[in-house]
Amino acid sequence: MPVKIAPSILSADFARLGEEIRAIDAAGADYVHIDVMDGHFVPNLTIGPMVVKALRPHTAKIFDVHLMIEPVDPHIAAYAEAGSDIITVHAEATRHLDRCLQLIRSFGRKAGVSLNPATPECVVEYVLDKLDLILVMSVNPGFGGQSFLPSALEKIAKLRALIGNRPIEIEVDGGVTAENAQSIAAAGAQVLVAGSAVFRTADYRSNIAALR
């Protein structure tokens, strides 16, 4: 199966986000990855639900919304109503992960769990029946432009074995480049999040093609 490419708009030009989303749509992006940071769970502030809602009319592509916020549960409804298709929460940001995933699905959205580099894959073992996506952080979250942590490859492979034949996608975020994409996919990842690797030049189509 070919990998899916999810450009992270964290690396886009924030002064013209609507135009940037239309451009990556035309360039062949599969998902639009939206990083939400709160300045508390991670040391940065980015996008709120009003911005997600404003961007929704610019593309029909899947909005892959990654919530790096704590507490996360009180904000699920706002991001669901703003037009998110996939809502991913950090296992480290909620005390009741099972309940949080149930909440996401109650809005008719796909549910994802993200694991920081130091978080073991066994955290998701008892919620697999409520998951559509597992996001492996291959950098410590909070900033774009970091280098890929090789330890993520072992975690991806272990998750692939744990998932078995369940219809759960493994997504990888952090330091993904055209040079390491093949090894990431070989370990078992199906969705590659890329910020700098897509937006580093104006030729988004070629950059996405290089990742594939």
> pLDDT tens digits for 96-112?
999 999 999 999 999 99
User: For residue 145, what pLDDT is reported?
Assistant: 76
35 flagged as catalytic? yes
Amino acid (one-letter) located at 16: R
Q: What is the CATH number for 120?
A: 3.20.20.70
- Mean pLDDT over each residue of the chain, to the nearest integer: 96
Secondary structure letter of residue 160 according to DSSP: H
Q: Which of 38, 64, 132, 173 is catalytic?
A: 173
User: For residue 142, what pLDDT is reported?
Assistant: 81
Closest CA to 80 of 97, 63, 55, 61: 63
CA distances, 137 to each of 20, 49, 159, 193 (Å):
24, 22, 13, 10
Task: Tally the domains of the chain.
Answer: 1
User: For residue 146, what pLDDT is reported?
Assistant: 83
Is pLDDT above 80 for 1? no
Q: Which of 35, 38, 64, 132 is catalytic?
A: 35
User: For residue 46, what pLDDT is reported?
Assistant: 93
Q: Considering the chain, what percentage of its residues have pLDDT values greater than 90?
A: 95
Interval 171-182: pLDDT, tens:
999 999 999 999
Please give the average per-residue pLDDT across 153-174, as a whole number. Answer: 97
Contact 159, 170 (CB under 8 A): yes
User: For residue 45, what pLDDT is reported?
Assistant: 93
Contact 184, 153 (CB under 8 A): yes
98 flagged as catalytic? no
Please give the average per-residue pLDDT across 104-130, as a whole number. Answer: 98
Query: Containing domain of residue 206, as a range?
Result: 4-211
